[in-house]
Structure 1
Amino acid sequence: MKKHLILIILKLQVLIILLPFSGFNQISPLQKGFKAYSIKHAEDTIDFFIYNPKNLDKKNLFIHISGSWPAPLWIETDPCCVTADPFSYNLIPEDYAYVVISKYKFPFSEKEDFNIPDGYWKKNTLDFRVNRTNEVIKYIQQNLFKPEKIVLVGTSQGTDVAAKLATLNKDVTHLGFWAGGGLPQLMEFILFARKEAIAGKITEKEATDKIDSLLVQFEKMFADPSPDKMWDENSYLSYVSFSEPPVENLLKLDIPIFVAIGTKDENVAIENSYIIPVQFIRHQKKNLTFRHYPNYDHSFYEKLPNGEEMDRFDDVTKEFISWLEKK
């Protein structure tokens, strides 16, 4: 499933911007309207960036927690340039400080042939990402301003991070959970094998054989959750650490939650997301807004009957902002 991740991100979730110059120039945060901050530790430097090109005072915080793709925030291409951040910054209300956080040891920008930093897979765990984001919130509260609202929006793997962080940091006021499932990530492989069988792409025997093989692989990973062993372009350690069912963390929350998923998501089976509203109904919790968008994929591109694709990420963002202003 994840073997297509980079292609999917580049094709569907990436914003390409042409600048007045060409060539592989290094991209600075200031060029993109961001101010850079760093939290330095002996074994980690957390680099985060606040979008504020007009230098306005802020009263609220909006943090985007990105997915699993190990990459810099911007990639230096010719013509310039590519980012994995799908948000249109002009849609974020000006009283919100929009924040993005670099992945471990990644700079703000790098060339297309970038390498994954040494030690990255050792750090790419759920708790590590949760703790880094939590530190950014505390730094902003203690050193920059005290937000009235703290909004987390996790996309893809970032949904796991956002859901768990919201249970730990009681200052978080709103949660966006976009393109994520309620069950452990490993369930996706099984669900997609079943979907292939139902669609007639493989036989029932082939599906059961495939699932048996997956279960053996999962056992191997849990028996030895090593950052040095890889499977389907991710480490054993990462898979094991991200095996907590996000729905369990979501159910612990009483803050407003906005779940968004596309019915044609090719990374997260829509069936995996329906467990969320079902469990909220079961527990009689009323703080969930659940949106399932017909024919939207993992990056909220709508697949039209004529084969064309329409980018609907901004539409989801606008709906979320409208929801946010009412909560």
Structure 2
Amino acid sequence: MQSTDQRLLELPFADEPPPQLHQAVTALVRAKAIVDRLAQGGLEDRALAAKFGQLGGEDGTSFFKETFPFCGRWDPLGASDLRNVPLDLTMGHSWRWHPEHVAQEKRAALLERFLSCTDGTERAVVCWIVPLGLFLAHEGKNRIEFLRSEGATHYPALTTPYDYPAPDRLALIQVPGPHGDEWWAVLDQDSIEPLRYPEWSLPILTAYGVSTTKGWPEDYPPYATVRQEVDERSRRNFRPLGEAPVSLKDLQAKEVKAAEEVSTSLMDLPGVRLKRGWKRAMATLVATVMVAILVVQPPLHEISILSAGLGGALTIVVFLFGEILAVPRASKPKSWQV
């Protein structure tokens, strides 16, 4: 919807999302502005902001990358251009100054300056998540709240478009947990990420048209396996843009491989070992037989007895160390797996 504000420059207007998504994005922008103020407030306000993952407040791009799944490599969708950007869909970040910091007699001049600035160091720059209709102020993020407080509906900004996965490529999984529901996002029925702050992202993703499944799907790898992989990455300080998301297909392949039967010996099994006394006894038996045959050269009937003893010893060795057992691959020590 284009503004009728006569103060606006003759620039193209950025496209806006459908009504339901527009409403959800507007609510997100308002809530983010409120929490930003809390993050700059007193001890109790900052504690409340921390509950929403806003320890010291975050700019729009950092907030988006941390809150929404599958942001990708953050490559522009196309060239940047100057547009009139809707303020109700723009996420700012008043980290340096707030509207009340501007004296009343200076407000009109500052408003005019911001609404006419199209170049130079004061030019605003925004990242436009086109499919979601969300604008993230990058340069000029402090002015957003001031412009809203002065009744402006749009403002000029150098706008860079970015893509986001289509809703039919995404799926939301709701899993009951010990401390409330846990939410996961799946891309192309393969990549999976937890929603770190579902209270922020769920209303947008739902309005965007992403479907929700309640309960862990039976055709997925076990929930504990996925959780373990995600936790392992978290311990390695995993960041969404620093490593590929967890792949359900890769985990399923690992599960299948772990269930394969492989050959092993009794001595390869975890926790199985031969006592030292038996090792000595077997070595002594073999050595005695060999010495008796090669050095003493006993009569033929005694050689038969010694050979039987040697054969028995070899049978025991084969039983203990030969790979005559079949076990699941996961049960075999990793040092022996190929």
Normalising by structure 1, we get a TM-score of 0.22
Structure with the greater alpha carbon radius of gyration:
2
State the TM-score, normalized to the length of structure 2: 0.21
Greater percentage in helix: 2
